[in-house]
């Protein structure tokens, strides 16, 4: 009976913490679930011109990367609307536990990749990208160098005590390898079709795009056999 009571109490607490009228982000029609495990959830987001999302809730912290330049209106209940203008491939970090509506006032679709971080994040800080608009940059590593990978150039974006996010560019003919296979790594294709045409995993298997996960302790290599550079988002456990 005590176990049942504790389960019921947990359910009540979870319901009380949810935001009335909001759907979970992964169930909002403009957010398309592309990948999920116990650490992160990848959503491909597309809001057509002059369209508006439903009120939706982000429980965990998340970051998102703009696919094309855009301006979006961020409408949180109880707060003034905020206009967010984003250059192509800019990376933004947002703390969770809130609901909002995203309105696209422009003539082009608002496209992004949203990555929800399902583990608690602490010590959030900018690296070479103003992911947190009100925080300074800590860009001590040149974009052409990296201690996490070899065979590619890296633009370190944002980090927490639990993970590090960067934009990695693999030149045509180059092979991306981890500096240390001990770290868990996720690579998220910005363009799944582009990645599927050009990237090969471990010497023979074509990467179909989406998200590639390398478990800690496993050696891996991703080769770009395409004719153009290919960029991916890298999420690495420190």
pLDDT tens figures, 208-227: 778 999 888 888 999 999 99
Please check whether residue 65 lies inside any domain of the structure. Answer: yes
Q: Which residue has the higher pLDDT, 141 or 229?
A: 229
Rounded mean pLDDT of 65-79? 95
SS3 letters for 44-105? EEEECCCCECCCEEECCCEEEEECCCEEEEEECCCCCCEEEEECCCCEEEECCCEEEEEECC
Domain assignment of residue 49, given as a range: 20-117
**Strands of 40-47's sheet in order across:** 31-36, 40-47, 110-117, 62-66, 91-94
Are residues 133 and 216 located together in one domain of the fold?
yes
Please check whether residue 10 lies inside any domain of the structure. Answer: no
Please check whether residue 129 lies inside any domain of the structure. Answer: yes
The domain boundary, picked from 52, 86, 117, lies at 117
Are residues 129 and 101 located together in one domain of the fold?
no
* pLDDT category of residue 5 using cuts at 50, 70 and 90: very low
pLDDT at 16: 35
Q: Quick check: 236 pLDDT over 70?
A: yes
**Using one digit for the tens of pLDDT, what is the confidence trace for 85-102?**
999 999 999 999 999 999
Are residues 167 and 227 located together in one domain of the fold?
yes
Q: In this structure, what are the phi and psi dihedrals at residue 175, rounded to the nearest 5 degrees? A: -125, 130
* pLDDT category of residue 142 using cuts at 50, 70 and 90: low
* pLDDT category of residue 19 using cuts at 50, 70 and 90: confident
The domain boundary, picked from 64, 92, 117, lies at 117
**Using one digit for the tens of pLDDT, what is the confidence trace for 146-198?**
578 999 999 999 999 999 999 999 999 999 999 888 889 999 999 888 888 89
Please check whether residue 224 lies inside any domain of the structure. Answer: yes
Range in 4-13, 160-169, 203-212 with the lowest mean pLDDT: 4-13
Are residues 69 and 136 located together in one domain of the fold?
no
Are residues 167 and 220 located together in one domain of the fold?
yes
CATH of the domain at 39: 2.60.120.10
pTM equals: 0.88
Please check whether residue 15 lies inside any domain of the structure. Answer: no
Are residues 80 and 162 located together in one domain of the fold?
no
Q: CA-CA distance, 130 to 132, in Å (whole number)?
A: 5
Q: Which of 121, 150, 161, 125 is nearest to 140 (CA)?
A: 125
Per the structure, the count of domains in the chain is: 2
How much is the mean pLDDT over the chain? 88
């Amino acid at each position: 009976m005590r176990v049942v009571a504790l389960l019921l109490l947990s359910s009540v607490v979870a319901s009380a913490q949810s935001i009335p009228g909001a759907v979970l982000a992964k169930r909002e029609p403009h957010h398309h679930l592309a990948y999920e495990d116990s650490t992160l959830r990848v959503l491909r987001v597309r809001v057509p011109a002059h369209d508006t999302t439903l009120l939706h809730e982000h429980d965990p912290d998340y970051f998102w990367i703009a696919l094309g330049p855009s301006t979006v209106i961020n409408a949180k209940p109880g707060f003034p609307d905020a206009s967010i203008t984003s250059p192509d491939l800019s990376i933004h970090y947002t703390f969770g536990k809130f609901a909002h509506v995203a309105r696209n006032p422009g003539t082009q679709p608002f496209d992004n990749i949203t990555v929800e971080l399902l583990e608690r994040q602490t010590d959030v800080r900018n690296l070479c990208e103003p992911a947190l608009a009100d925080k300074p940059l800590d860009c001590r590593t040149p974009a052409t160098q990296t201690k996490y990978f070899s065979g590619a150039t890296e633009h370190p974006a944002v980090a927490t005590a639990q993970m590090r996010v960067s934009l990695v560019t693999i030149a045509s003919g180059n092979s991306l390898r981890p500096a240390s296979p001990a770290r868990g790594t996720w690579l998220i294709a910005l363009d799944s079709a582009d990645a599927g045409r050009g990237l090969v995993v471990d010497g023979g298997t074509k990467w179909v795009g989406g998200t590639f996960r390398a478990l800690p302790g496993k050696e891996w290599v991703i080769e770009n056999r395409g004719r153009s550079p290919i960029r991916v988002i890298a999420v690495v456990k420190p």
